[in-house]
């Protein structure tokens, strides 16, 4: 990022250095905060989401613990405590990690409102992602945290108390949220070519949830499917943050899987960047 030179590029009304990293952070910080507040505007919907996540949490716990019991108290390295933690943590992340593929941007491309986004001196990819991530982070308050508290108090979940593990777990969860929105951005960006993206969204929803480990941990997959999953970014959305938070993966191994998350964030961001550049020239804004 380059500092913009000279008075010619800076009007008197815009006296913050435009190309500077600090300005970039200020803009995207405010976009993130606006997304967070948008999330807060719909508390009723958040409450509905909480009820749904908790209900399915209890179902998931009963199914998975029964499977562990049938396996003689251990299944693919998971004992009862570990599988309970897996079930509750995956439900807690579900409100913030986008596994559904739906975004505002897809709708905005379809109805032409994306024209307004293009009227701003912003990169569409970073501006969109900042707002969506902000909205998802809000969901941690009414949905993520209550489910973790509930899991610990009622569900019999135990979490590590070591601050370093928890800090790395939090980082891993944030990376998962960011990665999911960079991925669904790709889904929406196909709309630059096709306008309608519902088919791609449904495909993403089916594939991402399964390969992320929403239903069963990825590590329980048969070998070939496990290898396939690891070749995709999806395990970084749930399996990895759950492993790191619960302490099932720790030490150098934990740093390693978080490193893989960072690599996926960079790669998916790069793909989105290229798609935006190519797709913008294909865009045919709909309607008046």
Partner 1 sequence: MTTASSASGTTAIEVAGLTRRFRVRSRGFARKEVTAVDGLTLTVGAGESVGYIGANGAGKSTTIKMLAGILVPSAGTVRTCGLEPVRQRRELARRLGVVFGQRSQLWWDLPLAESYRILAAVHSLSPQRERERTAELVERLELGEFLATPVRQLSLGQRMRGEVAAALLHSPALLVLDEPTIGLDVLSKQRLREFLLAERAAHGTTLLLTTHDMGDVSRLCERVLLVDRGRLAYDGSLAGLSKTVGARRVLVVDLAAPAPDLLGVPHAEHLGSEGGGLRQRLAFDDAATTAAAVLSAVSERVEVRDLSVEEPDVEDVVRRIYAAGGR
| Residue at token pair 């032409």 | 112
Nearer to partner 1, 222 or 287 (CB): 287
Q: Is 15 exposed, middle or buried (0-12, 13-18, 19+ CB in 10 A)?
A: exposed
1, 3, 5, 14: residue in contact with partner 1 (rule CB under 8 A): 14
- Residue ranges in 81-120 that form contacts with partner 1 under rule CB under 8 A: 112-113, 115-116, 118-120
| Residue at token pair 């964030």 | 265
Min dist. Cβ of residue 126 to partner 1 (A): 12
161, 163, 231, 281: residue in contact with partner 1 (rule CB under 8 A): 281
153 binds partner 1 (CB under 8 A): no
Would you say 135 and 35 are in contact if contact means Cβ atoms under 8 Å apart?
Answer: yes
Residue span binding partner 1 (CB under 8 A) among the ranges 16-24, 84-92, 139-147, 236-244? 16-24
- 153: Cβ–Cβ under 8 A, 6 or more apart, which residues? none
13 binds partner 1 (CB under 8 A): yes
273 binds partner 1 (CB under 8 A): no
52, 152, 171, 283: residue in contact with partner 1 (rule CB under 8 A): 283
For residues 207-226, b (16+ Cβ closer than 10 Å) or e, as one string?
ebbbbbbbebbbbbbeeeee
- Residue ranges in 180-219 that form contacts with partner 1 under rule CB under 8 A: none
| Residue at token pair 């960047």 | 273
Number of residues that bind partner 1 (CB under 8 A): 36
- 101: Cβ–Cβ under 8 A, 6 or more apart, which residues? 184, 187, 200, 201, 202, 203, 204, 205, 208
Structural tokens at position 67: 């499977």
122 binds partner 1 (CB under 8 A): yes
Q: Pattern 23-52, binding to partner 1, x per CB under 8 A?
A: x--xx-xxx--x--xx--xx----------
Nearer to partner 1, 17 or 146 (CB): 17
72 Rama class: left (phi>0) / alpha (psi -120 to 50) / beta:
left
6 binds partner 1 (CB under 8 A): no
8 binds partner 1 (CB under 8 A): yes
Query: Which residues contact partner 1 (rule: CB under 8 A)?
Result: 8, 11-18, 23, 26-27, 29-31, 34, 37-38, 41-42, 112-113, 115-116, 118-123, 281, 283-285, 287-288
């Amino acid at each position: 990022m380059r500092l913009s030179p000279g008075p010619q590029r800076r009007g008197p009304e815009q006296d913050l250095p435009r190309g500077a990293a600090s300005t970039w952070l200020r803009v995207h910080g405010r976009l993130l905060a606006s997304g967070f507040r948008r999330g807060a505007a719909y508390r009723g919907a958040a409450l509905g989401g909480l009820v749904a996540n908790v209900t399915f949490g209890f179902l998931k716990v009963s199914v998975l613990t029964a499977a562990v019991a049938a396996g003689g108290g251990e299944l693919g390295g998971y004992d009862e405590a570990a599988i309970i933690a897996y079930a509750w943590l995956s439900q807690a992340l579900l409100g913030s990690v986008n596994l559904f593929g739906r975004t505002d941007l897809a709708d905005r491309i379809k109805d032409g409102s994306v024209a307004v986004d293009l009227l701003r001196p912003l990169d569409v990819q970073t501006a969109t992602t900042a707002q969506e991530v902000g909205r998802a982070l809000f969901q941690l308050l009414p949905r993520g945290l209550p489910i973790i508290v509930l899991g610990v108090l009622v569900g019999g979940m135990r979490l590590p108390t070591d601050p370093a593990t928890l800090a790395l777990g939090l980082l891993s969860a944030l990376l998962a949220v960011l990665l999911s929105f960079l991925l669904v951005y790709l889904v929406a960006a196909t709309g630059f070519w096709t306008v309608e993206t519902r088919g791609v969204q449904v495909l993403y929803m089916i594939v991402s949830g399964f390969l992320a480990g929403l239903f069963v941990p990825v590590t329980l997959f048969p070998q070939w499917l496990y290898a396939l999953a690891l070749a995709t970014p999806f395990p970084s959305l749930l399996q990895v943050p759950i492993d790191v938070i619960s302490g099932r993966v720790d030490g150098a191994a934990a740093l390693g899987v978080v490193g893989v998350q960072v690599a996926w964030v960079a790669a998916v961001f790069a793909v989105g960047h290229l798609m935006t550049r190519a797709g913008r020239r294909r865009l045919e804004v709909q309607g008046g």
